[in-house]
Amino acid sequence: MNKELPSVLIPQQSVEMSNVDIHTEILEAVNKSQHRLQFNIKKQGLLNSGSRLVLSVHNDDAAADGTCFLPTTCGAACLISKATLRAGTTILSIAENVGERFMIDKAVHTASMRSEIDQVLDGASGSNLGPSTNTDGLLAVDVGCANYTSATACATPERYKPVNSKTNCPLYSISLDDIFVGLKNIVLPVGFMQEQVSVEIELTQQVNGETGKTMLFSTPPATTTATSYGLENCVMHLDYLTYDAATMNRIADQVNSDKGMPMVYSEKLVTSSQLPGIAQPASGVTSDVDFVREVGSSGLKVNNVVVTERYDTVNALTGVYRSDAPIHDISFNWRYNNTIHYPKAIKNPSLMRNELEKVQMFPMSVHNAEYSFDLYSDFYDSKDGMQNNPIDSTVLFEGQNPQVLGGNYFITSLNLTKGPGGEGTQIANKNIIYERKSVFSRNDYQTRLIKFFVDYEKTFVLRNGVVLTSI
């Protein structure tokens, strides 16, 4: 990908930083409301992909101060429901389901990264499980990512808790490349683009009666659970990079050439569906149900597909940003281009996790008990399962039983790259097919919402300052 691009336009490549001039700007939104923010990016140099969007969110009920916290899996990323990156009227990238996607990305951050770096920026505490403080042999919220007041009580540090005040409040931030995945592949040469580059953010709304969309509460607020945004705090911290004249001229020459500058980057396409539940089975009874779903992907060069699924309920600690594991192992397979991906449908959750790591390219740093319910169930004793819960119910996080964190990272995948870091697979004129067998049981029979995040290659050509995109 992007073999012909100058190295300064590829974020992962280490470049000589001594010859770069970094211009930092705090950019106010040109248009802002409780639903939408719009930022116009300056035409200057190269836009650093690590530039950040800063937000603040507030509980409308002032009496709820001290009880609010952000979802443990994704923190402030949940505040963005949709983001669009445009050059003029041309859409370069659209990011949907940013909270869920950030939850997927954070699964491969190490525990210390989540507690020492991510928490400071996105405000998500309680993101790791570790040895319980109250019972040797069980798990609880890791001591490194929360404040412990006793062996049985811990909470989000005060400095990360949303409050009612819009002036004396914590600010959260998320980097542009975490919002737009394509910016992990390329640095945007905004100084060479004729048309105005803009970022439009649609903000997640949580109205009275709802929780878990923008924040959660350790005790239900007396008047309202609604939240709002501190619009005066919503800015972008941007870094514009300007390299030495030779480097910038080389970029300019390529942009102004007949061929222009083709830039290949990743984009996500989300297909949502449902897996209908059944009537609750009797104790000890299971029911197998087969599902087939089409995943929108025909005509695309697909790198991978990542799947999340959850019940249509709110988790007391992770809100709606999670992927619920089934109690009985599912088995699944994929079909594309007349190919069956696995010789036999895979059923082993540890193997599913290994398959996901091929996509994520890093080890998935969450406990087995957070990925699946494999450790929990002795089906030879009872098909209802869940006899062996390894999470300590006595060590409360934000007053909630941490057992709700079990099986919140059941993320599955399909890897279609050719070799590590290689090109994706061109999907012909028929969508990828997802085939699955679910085993419903007494405590796991409800309808599931399932999302397929298709990562595909997209190209835009920058020629004489004009941006042309592929599909």
Partner 1 sequence: MITEQRYNSIQPINLPENGQYSFKGGSSLIQFQIPASPTLLLTKTLKLNGKLRLNRSTSTFSNPVFPNNNAVKTGAAYGLRLNERVGVSGLFENITISALGSGGQTLESLTKPGSLFSVTNPLQNNQANFDGYMCGKDPVLASREKQSATDCNTEVNFSIPLEVAILQAVETLPLGNNGLRGMEINLQLTADSNALICSEADKNDVFYSLHNLTCCYDLLHFDPDTQAELDRPKSGSFEFNSWNHQYNILNSNSSTLTLNLGTKNTLSVINSTIPASHVNNVEKDGYSTDRFKNQVNGVFNTTAKLNKYIVGKSGRRMPVDFEVVTKTQAGQNRPEVERIELLKESMNVEESARTLISVNTENGLKTKRDADGKEVASLKSTVSVEAQDKPIFAIGQNEDSLTQVGRDFSDGTFTLLVESDLDGQSANAIHTYSLSKHKLVYSPQGISVTS
| Interacting residue ranges for partner 1, rule: CB under 8 A | 110-112, 115, 119, 125, 128-139, 142-148, 150-151, 154, 157, 329, 341-344, 348-351, 353-354, 358, 363-369, 371, 374-380, 387-390, 415, 417-420, 422, 425
Q: Which of 247, 108, 105 has its CA nearest to residue 187?
A: 247
Q: Closer to partner 1 by CB, 162 or 349: give it.
A: 349
User: Could you give the CA distance from residue 343 to residue 339 in angstroms, rounded to a whole number?
Assistant: 10
CB atoms within 10 A of CB 263: 25
Using the minimum distance from each CB to partner 1, give the nearer residue, 136 or 290: 136
Q: Which two tokens stand for residue 327?
A: 């109690």
Name the residue nearer to partner 1 (CB basis): 7 or 348.
348
Sign of the CA dihedral running 411, 416, 421, 426:
negative
Distances (CA, A) of 277 to 286, 310, 397, 409: 13, 12, 31, 20
From the CB of 464, what's the least distance to partner 1, in Å?
Answer: 33
User: CA-CA distance, 201 to 84, in Å (whole number)?
Assistant: 7
**Closest separation in Å from C-beta 130 to partner 1:** 6
- Residue 148 Cβ, how far from partner 1 at the closest point, in Å? 5
- For 22, 75, 256, 266, the CA distances from 301, given in Å and listed in that order, are 35, 31, 28, 10
| Beta carbon nearer to partner 1, 24 or 337 | 337
Q: Where are the beta strands (DSSP E) in 34-100?
A: 36-41, 46-47, 52-55, 57-59, 68-69, 80-87, 90-96
- Select 131 or 220, whichever has its Cβ closest to partner 1: 131
| Residue 394 CB, nearest approach to partner 1 (Å) | 11
What are the beta bridge partners of residue 228? 58
Instruction: Give buried/exposed letters for 183-197 (b at 16+ CB in 10 A, else e).
Output: bbbbbbbbbbbeeeb
From CA 143, how far away is CA 183, in angstroms rounded?
34
CB of 272 to partner 1, least distance (A): 26
Least distance to partner 1, CB of residue 421, Å: 11
Q: How far is the CB of 85 from partner 1 (least distance, A)?
A: 30
Residue whose C-alpha is closest to residue 155's, from 135, 125, 130, 132: 125
Tell me, what DSSP letter sits at residue 197?
E
Angstrom distance (rounded) from CA 169 to CA 56: 8
| Residue among 135 and 205 whose Cβ is closer to partner 1 | 135
* Residue 354 CB, nearest approach to partner 1 (Å): 5
Judged by beta carbon, residue 83 or residue 145, the one nearer partner 1 is: 145
Minimum separation from the CB atom of position 379 to partner 1 (A):
8
Q: Which is nearer to partner 1, 146 or 203 (CB)?
A: 146
Q: Which is nearer to partner 1, 97 or 115 (CB)?
A: 115
Compute the distance between CA of residue 43 and CA of residue 188 in angstroms, rounded to an integer: 11
Give dist(CA 146, CA 156) in Å, integer: 5
